[in-house]
Structure 1
């Protein structure tokens, strides 16, 4: 029917709109908050962002994918990466930025006594054949030194800056290499969630989008408090939904699958923090996702009790791989007390984290 009434492009967009399972009236919503409710704080933030966009129109931020990739993958302290990210977005409180916001009137640098443009500060980031880590530490050191001079604090002489930053970078690399295995192992702990209390089953869900194929996938795994798999499933959907939409649909399908198997007390766990917060919230959700979130809440009334839990992605790996597996099945597939063979290693890893 949709294909017959609309042109092809419009029909595709319409069919990608997920429909709610219950009747709901249309309503206006505020697009700058998670729940769609208007707040003075969000309005103020919106106006300030608009103002800054106009101020920075002549000096657009660096958006090249290669630059972002190199910045976030370089071997450096998180604060160094964050400084470079802020510099790329033109949000550092430099003289030029503060003058644009009418906070300062004097563009002269306290140390070099010259007018310095932000573009000069950032140009070294994309030079080829240079050590990005070394130059990142250099930028951070110079930034800190200039701030000390500005605040009349003791600063290092210029001829010592290069030696200090080289020593700092060498110390970071040495300590990272020495504790690399420990950092990785510690980072994996606490991300696998906790075992459910007796009488409850844990239902992990996830959704994924196959954009090029115009498909989406849902994965669900149900386990008891010992980590034993009670059931799992993968389902392929015929539309490529948005990421937040497929996560919400996956949560609903996870509850439906759990209820069909006869479980009455469940902990619904996923790696979409915004969705979990929305499910826990008692406030009215006016956002475009509100009706889908309400569907999940309404379906939870079929259970004696449903709890909601957030877990990081590596603690939700089994459900994630089941969602990815959906592209290789006709439409819907169920495994009772089992998972596909290629997921078993991830299952053992999750069980170890649960205990």
Structure 2
């Protein structure tokens, strides 16, 4: 399962009933443990906290696939999870695990900070966390050694634009870099710039994709290949599923733009072939660079 380790651990502890619910704490005579749910006052078992509490029951119907209380009679969280995880596509059990983590996180916000969070906010938190983790933790194929790779020329009559996004959590900044070459490998142009208010590495890569799509307007009648080393971002944009994360609207816009622009394709390239775009994206994050976007056309920039 491609979920954060903390989520796998949380789900395992829940299924083993070694979870710090009010009921379990009261049974161990932990001081101040009432046994009651912080939201509704009913006995807080693991199943109640994660699935059958009225707060959790408003959360699970928001998923894009049906989730129901299969084990509602016994309140058995293990049975509930096993039934839901069976016969699902590979991504759905991961989303269910993230949902369990987010429900518990929402509960802890109430217990420890006195804060509330809507079911929609809880779902957005879960999906955004999953996207960020998968975008930055691509899994290599086991037992396969990758040979040294080099940048490949695009087909005759096609332009390739390599693109990359860099993210700086401090200040919520991102930089993007683009470099365009023709089928001979000749330099055509490059561009770099930065954005404020960026929330995650995935957000930064999506903004780089947006700039890459805009850059294609320089060559309106030519087929263009956009190449990025952000495998998670590419998978997200090319997938047909509904994205419920905070970036879902942005992703949906890109899907529509790519469908409308039949001459533009998006492909994955390993990091080694994306060096120039990567250097541009990181350079623009340096403090002495202005917020203005910069382009080169007549000759390659120093990064080349």
TM-score by length of 1: 0.43
More helix by share: 1
Larger Rg: 1
